[in-house]
Amino acid sequence: MSNETSSPIIRVHGLVNRFGAQVVHNGLDMEVRPGEIFGIVGGSGSGKSVLLRAILGLRRPDAGTVEMCGQDMLRLSRARRAALVRNYGVTFQNGALISSLTVAQNIQLPLREYFSFSEDTLNELAFLDLGLAGLPPDSADKYPAQLSGGMVKRAALARALSLEPKLLFLDEPTSGLDPISAAAFDELLLYLHSQLKLTVVMITHDLDSLFRTCNRVGVIVDGRMITDTLEGILQNPNPWIHDYFHGARARAVQKEDHG
């Protein structure tokens, strides 16, 4: 799927993030190519979410550059940034649905902000996005608190897709889901990826999900990122990576996959 020759859609170079004396990223490099599903892996506290926030421009890094679609995220004017925001969708770890709005209103929130559509059009689009995310139509009028964990993740995905982005960021999309729901989410992601030609950047701890969906994987170790294909990363001699992918839990997953 990934195109080796095309220029990267995201390029992070020499990223440094510090919290007081604690250095989270120390010269981290990362590249995401158009059309791939890129998995970000790392131990708890290794700064996966911080990296995502830095890429999205929600946090100003202490050093380094972040480019998205060829534009420097740190030096964008407000107007340029607003235009760029429409190119990507994000789902946060806990869904981050606005709790006082229904699912349909959550999906329509960015649409209302950027376009002036009629109510009928907005309803039709919400209906379409629910369909894309595999949610039943009657979930439109529900509030986030009335949804199950899996449905919250799907509703967040529907909201992220509402502006028809080419780039999708997912922060632990399958965490807290049962294996069946998580597998269904993986299939949905693969399907949308192939049908809508999306580029996906996914933070995950779910090895099943990682093996099923990702083309390439970036592992954050000691504040830097080691990027490789799945096969390549499995051969990597780094002790942390070895433990991560060859620990008891990982072995069970691989047995399933290859056995």
Partner 1 sequence: MAALALERRGNGWRLQLNGDWSLAALANIEQELQTLTTPIDAPMVCDWSHAEAPGIGPVWALLTRLRDLNAGGFPVAHVREPYTLAFLQQLEVERHPGQGAKVNPSPAGIIGALGRWTLNQGVEARGAVGFFGRMVTVLGEAFTRPRALRVPSIVRHVYETGITAIPIVSLIAFLISVIVAYLGAQQLAKFGATIFVVDLLTISVLREMGVLLTAIIVAGRSGSAFAAEIGVMQLNEETDALRAMGLNPIEVLVLPRVLALIIALPLLTIIADAMGLAGGGLLSLINLHIPLPQFMNRLRESISPTTFWAGLVKAPVFAVLIGMVGTYRGMQVRESARELGRLTTVAVVQSIFMVILADALFAVLFMQIDF
Stretch touching partner 1 by CB under 8 A, among 71-79, 124-132, 180-188, 215-223: 124-132
How far are the Cα atoms of 13, 24, 175 from residue 9, in angstroms, in the given order? 13, 24, 26
Stretch touching partner 1 by CB under 8 A, among 43-51, 174-182, 191-199, 246-254: 191-199
Compare residues 141 and 187 and give the one whose CB is closer to partner 1: 141
Whether the Cβ atoms of residue 177 and residue 211 lie closer than 8 Å to each other: no
Which residues, 142 to 181, sit near partner 1 by CB under 8 A? 143-145, 163-164
How many other CB atoms sit within 10 Å of the CB of residue 165? 19
Using CB under 8 A, which of 124, 178, 243, 257 touches partner 1? Answer: 124
Using CB under 8 A, which of 46, 105, 174, 204 touches partner 1? Answer: 105
Q: Min. distance of Cβ 217 from partner 1 in angstroms? A: 27
Whether the Cβ atoms of residue 153 and residue 144 lie closer than 8 Å to each other: no
Compare residues 12 and 122 and give the one whose CB is closer to partner 1: 122
Using CB under 8 A, which of 130, 133, 214, 226 touches partner 1? Answer: 130
Question: With binding defined as CB under 8 A, does residue 196 bind partner 1?
Answer: yes
Compare residues 131 and 232 and give the one whose CB is closer to partner 1: 131
Using CB under 8 A, which of 18, 127, 215, 230 touches partner 1? Answer: 127
Bridge partners (DSSP) listed for residue 37? 200
Quote the CA–CA distance of 226 and 22 in Å, as a whole number.
21
What's the longest Cα–Cα distance across the chain? 57
How far are the Cα atoms of 64, 76, 123, 158 from residue 130, in angstroms, in the given order? 38, 32, 10, 6
Question: With binding defined as CB under 8 A, does residue 195 bind partner 1?
Answer: yes
Q: Give one word for 185, left, alpha or beta, with left for phi > 0 and alpha for psi -120 to 50.
A: alpha
Q: Which residues bind partner 1 (CB under 8 A)?
A: 98-100, 102, 104-105, 108, 115-128, 130-132, 137, 140-141, 143-145, 163-164, 195-197
